[in-house]
Amino acid sequence: MSIKQNSRRDFFKKASLSGLAVVVSSAFTFGSKSKSPTIPAENLGIAKLGDFKLTPQSKQNPLPYAYGDLEPYIDARTMEIHYSKHHAAYTKNMNESSSSTDYAAKPLFEVFAEMGKYPVFLKNNAGGFYNHLLFWTILSHGTGQAPEGRLATAINDTFGGIEKFKELFGTAGKKQFGSGWAWLSVDAKGKLVVSSTANQDNPLMSTTEIKGVPILALDVWEHAYYLQYQNRRPDYVDSFWKVVNWKEVSRRYEEALAAK
């Protein structure tokens, strides 16, 4: 393996998803055999397709907050359906469509890095699986209204201030035609970059034009806001800033830089 390949693999290994434990099959355990079949989320990038499962909401809510905690900005019913129906469906589809294929044993981030080789159905569902996991962790009510530390400095240096950044990111979300996502990512040079993607594409995918390690994500599919906001996507996007977990975004920023 070349140095370049090595560093890329390392890059994706370290581009983790900490902050939310991921429930996996009992055959797949990292570290000690705990009663709860979860892996530390930082291992997500090297976990294999087909090993991920979401716990049905009726048994346990693995989100780091209750469905109603993001009100009045995102309503409880939307959170419940979004997590227990939409996210669960992407996960199920990812697992079922990859089982008994040769790529079932591939780490998720390696699949993203060579996304063009795989069926679009897998792209849509593996993307949906990952994107939502990321989204849940960067949401929280009352954890701070502004970035701090090195992330704050980088946002100022790159975009000319937090308000200008919010405008740029918000516009990416508002203007994304149809379903998709807005992203703040750390690119290969360690620079912050704002982008949007269609469907369940993300900046980790080889097929995506603007690449990087995403540290902030906003779901602008109608299922993310329609019950509360109907056609008013701009209002939903503006409300999003009230529930951003900047602490987690900062942590992801530091982690992405450390992986360079």
Structure tokens at 251: 């942590």
Name the residue nearer to Mn ion (CB basis): 39 or 133: 133
* Nearest-approach distance from CB 39 to Mn ion, in angstroms: 23
Q: What DSSP line would sit under 54-79, residue for residue?
A: PPPTTT---SSS-GGGGTTTS-HHHH
* Nearest-approach distance from CB 256 to Mn ion, in angstroms: 23
Q: For 124-143, what is the HEC assignment?
A: HHHHHHHHHHHHHHCECCCC
* Nearest-approach distance from CB 241 to Mn ion, in angstroms: 18
Name the residue nearer to Mn ion (CB basis): 169 or 181: 181
* Nearest-approach distance from CB 220 to Mn ion, in angstroms: 9
**How far is Cα 138 from Cα 247, in angstroms, rounded to an integer?**
8
* Nearest-approach distance from CB 100 to Mn ion, in angstroms: 27
* Nearest-approach distance from CB 136 to Mn ion, in angstroms: 10
Name the residue nearer to Mn ion (CB basis): 42 or 71: 71
**Residue 28 DSSP class:** -
* Nearest-approach distance from CB 41 to Mn ion, in angstroms: 19
**How far is Cα 98 from Cα 143, in angstroms, rounded to an integer?**
37
Name the residue nearer to Mn ion (CB basis): 204 or 224: 224
Name the residue nearer to Mn ion (CB basis): 80 or 187: 80
Closest chain position to Mn ion (CB) = 219
The alpha carbon of 103 is separated from its chain's Cα centroid by a whole number of angstroms, namely 21
Name the residue nearer to Mn ion (CB basis): 182 or 224: 224
Residue among 26, 46, 42 at smallest CA distance from 34 = 26
Q: Which residue has the tokens 């990952």?
A: 130
**How far is Cα 34 from Cα 55, in angstroms, rounded to an integer?**
16
Name the residue nearer to Mn ion (CB basis): 133 or 224: 224
Name the residue nearer to Mn ion (CB basis): 131 or 140: 131
**How far is Cα 94 from Cα 104, in angstroms, rounded to an integer?**
9
For Mn ion, the binding residues (CB under 5 A) are 219, 221, 224
The alpha carbon of 152 is separated from its chain's Cα centroid by a whole number of angstroms, namely 21
Cβ(150)–Cβ(158) below 8 Å: no
As a whole number of angstroms, the longest Cα–Cα distance in the chain is: 51
The alpha carbon of 101 is separated from its chain's Cα centroid by a whole number of angstroms, namely 25
* Nearest-approach distance from CB 17 to Mn ion, in angstroms: 16
Tell me how far CA of residue 37 lies from CA of 17, 25, 98, 168, in angstroms.
17, 7, 21, 40
